[in-house]
Amino acid sequence: MELEVRHLRALCAVADTGSLHRAARLLGVAQPSLSTQLRRIEQELGGELFIRERTGCRLTPLGRIVLGRARPLVAEMRSLVAEARAAAADGLQLRIGSTASRALAGWLRRLREHRQEPLLQMDVSANALLNLVAEGRLDVAFVHEVEGCPLRIPDGLRLRVLVEREPQFVSLPNDHPAAVRPVVHLSELAQDRWMVDPTVDGEWDAVHRMLRSAGLNPRVLHGDYHTAASLVATGEVVTVCQPTRQSGPETAVRPLHGDPLGVRLLLAARTEAELDGVYPELAEAYEETARQAPAYREWLEHGGSGTPVPVLP
């Protein structure tokens, strides 16, 4: 006889009630049937688990060892069943990881419209998100791979390219002299302070490489996206940004001449089926976001290279 979860439940019931009679009532079985089951369990394990007395049953040393292992297993099975029933009633939740992207809102909305309820986990580290997918803790991840800084792709992951090369633009104060131009040369930003987020995989190295290639050695500050945005608005810094970012009342988003910095946009999952289930919605959301960003829209309409996003009408 092989032990099953129902056998472990029976052992827990006897231990909890201290009586075969009360345990049988709790389990909804006849006492003789429970007694027979208990004897078979003890035969399988090779020793008595309970001492039967006139006043009830008490655990033997072997019984205490077995019950110590049985209780967590029974509790875990109970939890599994509860979660499965909840998922069946409410719809399976899709676990999505993502680096920062303005396409996220449209992607999540489209998934909900197709009866998929996404759970979102954000992280600045694309490598960390890919590891979570490989470990089964996320279903899919939408990540950015900075040019010249390859991501560490765990074995077994499937990748789908959304954009082979998305150009990175520059965000600068509206009153900056270069803001009047449709395209900014790096030389026009030689005297500015730059802000870079060093926690984004590859960004620090890529920006430094871009600046060195242009013969620039500006002061570079560390800060996240939100800090950078607020400091650009006050004229303190300039920063590279995604082309889908839109200009604001105090900031201007412009392409860089020659597109010196790019990223590859990737969707990762463990199976092709998982990619198929979410990729079309992501592609639609990205195109929608590109249409809404004037600087990026113009870049695409004038034949910006390296992107599979169609020329927008």
CA distance 67 to 75: 12
pLDDT given for residue 87 in this prediction: 58
pLDDT given for residue 279 in this prediction: 96
Per-residue pLDDT tens digits for 285-296: 999 999 999 999
Per-residue pLDDT tens digits for 139-185: 999 999 999 999 999 999 999 999 999 999 999 999 999 999 999 99
| Average pLDDT, rounded, for the chain | 90
pLDDT given for residue 55 in this prediction: 85
* pLDDT-derived band at 135, boundaries 50, 70, 90: very high
Per-residue pLDDT tens digits for 54-101: 888 999 999 999 999 888 888 888 877 776 666 565 556 799 999 999
Q: Is 55 exposed, middle or buried (0-12, 13-18, 19+ CB in 10 A)?
A: exposed
pLDDT given for residue 83 in this prediction: 64
